[in-house]
Amino acid sequence: MADFGIGAMAVSSSRLQEITTKLNSLFTPLGMEVHPFKIRWYNEHVSTAYQFDLHPDTRAYVVISTPDMFEKALLPFICSNDHIGSMDVLDRCMQFYFGLVKKEFPDEDVEIIHDFEMTPMRRAKVLVQPACHVAGAAYYYTRKDLNSDPFEDKNIFGVCIHPKYGGWFAIRGIIIFKSVLCPNLQQTEPVDCVPQQEDRVKLLDLFTNHWKDWRYRDIIPVKKRIASTA
Ligand code: B12
């Protein structure tokens, strides 16, 4: 094992596999997916304000919820808790389940950052879409993916599309193992499931201008949808 002098260590591949296996056993039964990435991959894509001041090889995971999450995690959570308080019940549900990670890894320096967490400057603490892209979980389509941009000076929001669930999923946050380095982790490219230029234009238009009718979610044929989403 190599010590990098800031408390973070390169750990064996079996230890990394053990961490992934434990996270999968926690999240898969809840209708969620975890995908590992290195902090460097994320930092390379976001502006300085969003970067993490961590060793570039630090191990992190992006967590996404699939349509099954509502039945497997949210409903049981609602049935087993009282929900007095101002926070969104889904956010509280996610806080609860992500909190189990800290219990599962009592000896690790684990940082959990939810999609809804903001800095005092009202900026997202983490941009989950680039995290999702660099982890190979779902391709993040932006106007940079267009050969010819028809939107001129309009503000166009980017969107991740999952190869199985299209837009019927959400990116719930990231988990950083601050003391665990993974120099040998190989990057997985996300599946480019919207390869046609005209479909990409349609996708960005639907997500930016018509997101309320949810058509952007069906930009590709999907394996499963949900009756309600957030
Ligand atoms: C703030 C916010 C909004 C704002 C502004 C949106 C925006 N993109 O700026 C508003 C309120 C408008 C909004 C609306 C919606 N949002 Co919103 N929003 C967010 C939030 C909290 C932060 C996004 C942000 O601040 N981006 C800042 C900009 C600057 O980032 P950026 O454009 O990606 O660019 C940076 C980097 O990504 C990088 N970059 C640029 N291009 C590329 C390309 C690649 C490949 C990579 C790797 C990096 C990269 O460079 C930039 C500089 O750092 C995220 C959750 C999160 N924590 O990330 C959800 C999120 C983006 N929203 C989401 C959704 C679904 C919505 C809505 C449909 C409403 C809803 N919740 O149902 C609408 C749709 C948009 C619309 N038409 O209004 C989802 C998108 C899911 C997906 N499949 O991609 C997210 C991820 C929440 C989630 N939990 O899943 N949202």
**Per-residue pLDDT for 222 more than 50?**
yes
The share of the chain scoring above pLDDT 90, in percent, equals: 86
Binning pLDDT at 50, 70 and 90, where does residue 14 land?
very high
Q: State whether the beta carbon of 159 lies less than 6 angstroms from ligand 1.
A: yes
The mean pLDDT of 165-176, rounded to a whole number, is 98
User: Is 81's pLDDT higher than 80?
Assistant: no
Total domains in the chain come to 1
Average pLDDT over residues 167-181: 97
Q: How confident is the model at residue 83 (pLDDT cuts 50, 70, 90)?
A: low
Distance CA 131, CA 133 (A): 5
Residue 223 lies in a domain: no
Pocket test for ligand 1, best of 88, 127, 217 (most atoms within 8 A of CB): 127
The CATH code of the domain that includes 94 is 3.40.109
Task: Render pLDDT for 44-72 as a digit per residue (tens, 0 to 9).
Answer: 999 999 999 999 999 999 999 999 999 99
Does a structural domain hold residue 48? yes
Of 173, 184, 177, which Cα lies nearest the Cα of 54? Answer: 177
Is the pLDDT confidence value at 143 over 60?
yes
2 Cα: distance to centroid of ligand 1 (angstroms): 37
With a 6 A CB cut-off, is 47 part of the ligand 1 pocket?
Answer: yes
Provide the pLDDT for residue 230: 47
Q: What are phi and psi of 187, to 5 degrees?
A: -80, 135
Pick the atom of ligand 1 nearest to 161's CA: 83
Q: Is there a domain that residue 30 lies in?
A: yes
Site to substitute for ligand 1 among 64, 157, 187, 212, most atoms within 8 A of C-beta: 157
The finding on whether 133 has its CB within 6 A of some atom of ligand 1 is: yes
**Is 65 within the bounds of a domain?**
yes
Tell me, yes or no, whether 32 lies in a domain. Answer: yes
Q: Compute CA distances 188 → 22, 132, 191, 207, whole Å.
A: 20, 11, 9, 25
Nearest CA to ligand 1 atom 26: 127
Return d(Cα 165, Cα 185) in angstroms, integer.
Answer: 26
Tokens representing 108 are: 């690790």
Q: Whose CA is nearest to atom 9 of ligand 1?
A: 157
Q: Ligand 1 mean position to 6 CA, how many Å? A: 32
Q: Residue length, the chain?
A: 230
202 assigned to some structural domain: no
Query: If 0-12 CB within 10 Å is exposed, 13-18 middle and 19+ buried, where does residue 189 land?
Result: exposed
What is the DSSP pairing of strand 9-10 with strand 159-161? unpaired
Tell me, yes or no, whether 195 lies in a domain.
no
Q: Ligand 1 within 6 A of 115 CB?
A: yes
170 vs 76: CA distance, rounded Å:
19
pLDDT in tens, 99-128: 999 999 999 999 999 999 999 999 999 999
Query: Considering just the CA atoms, what is the radius of gyration of the chain in Å?
Result: 18
DSSP state of 69: H
212 CA closest ligand 1 atom index = 68
- Per-residue pLDDT band at 227 (split at 50, 70, 90): low
In this prediction, residues 4-27 reach a mean pLDDT of 88
The tokens of 83 are what? 């929900």
Q: Domain limits at 118?
A: 9-138+166-188
pLDDT of residue 223: 83
Pocket test for ligand 1, best of 64, 121, 129 (most atoms within 8 A of CB): 129
CB within 8 A of 127, min separation 6: which ones? 46, 50
Q: 128 in ligand 1 pocket by Cβ < 6 Å?
A: yes
What pLDDT, on a 0 to 100 scale, did the predictor assign at position 5? 47
What pLDDT, on a 0 to 100 scale, did the predictor assign at position 61?
A: 98
Q: Is residue 88 part of a domain?
A: yes
Determine the pLDDT at residue 1. Answer: 43
Per-residue pLDDT, 172 = 98
| Position 2 confidence tier, pLDDT thresholds 50, 70, 90 | very low
Average pLDDT over residues 210-214: 96
Query: Separation of 158 CA from ligand 1 center, angstroms?
Result: 6
